[in-house]
Chain A
Amino acid sequence: AQSVTQLGSHVSVSEGALVLLRCNYSSSVPPYLFWYVQYPNQGLQLLLKYTSAATLVKGINGFEAEFKKSETSFHLTKPSAHMSDAAEYFCAVTSTTDSWGKLQFGAGTQVVVTP
């Protein structure tokens, strides 16, 4: 069985500061990993995905994440926070089989950006 743990349900960052959201996964085989963002009352938007190619993955809106197999982690970072980054962020893991669309999500991290 696969699972995801997101450390910290709430993160507060100052505008212009580094954003770091932590995600650790559990999987018996190399997985696919995703980060999604959700704005209030909206669906999920894909930020980036790891599909076993490069371990450093660049996504939209200046976000990137690094897959570290030895640490079973896939932390999300952005060098400089913008007010528009305030949202909830979800890490998700799935198998590399044909049913890869069956994502297992973490509980989410709410990001607040202060001026």
Chain B
Amino acid sequence: DTGVSQNPRHKITKRGQNVTFRCDPISEHNRLYWYRQTLGQGPEFLTYFQNEAQLEKSRLLSDRFSAERPKGSFSTLEIQRTEQGDSAMYLCASSLTGQPWSGNTIYFGEGSWLTVV
């Protein structure tokens, strides 16, 4: 169990550029989640996958955001035409499908910081 891995850990980009973040979940986890956290706030849900299927997207995920999990393993989160308001930490998490009372837990990665200048 190597944990949830995210990279890059930090990205500074100019407004209008595209950025992509990658997440490698815990190997046997079939669910993968993306959250966004701005300074002084708790994380906010963006989207989640079960295997390669994207099951739910938050209204926070505008048309400039796209997430994929092509083979049900790693996932990418792309932000097109970045805006200063996109500056945040993007957190990836993973879990098994079962309910938390069965011992299942969501494990978070260390996050990818995005600064748009």
Binding site for B on A (CB under 8 A): 4, 9, 32, 36, 41-46, 49, 51-53, 90, 92, 96, 99-108
B85 on the interface (CB 8 Å rule)?
no
Contact yes or no, A49 B105, CB < 8 A: yes
In whole angstroms, how far apart are the Cα atoms of A92 and B91 in the complex? 15
Chain A at the B interface: SS class: loop
Residue contacts A-B, CB under 8 angstroms, 10 given: A4-B42, A9-B40, A36-B108, A53-B101, A101-B31, A101-B33, A101-B95, A103-B106, A105-B44, A107-B42
How many chain B residues have a CB neighbour from A under 8 Å? 27
Contact yes or no, B41 A108, CB < 8 A: yes
Binding site for A on B (CB under 8 A): 4, 31, 33, 35, 40-45, 48, 55-56, 91, 93, 95, 99-101, 105-111, 113
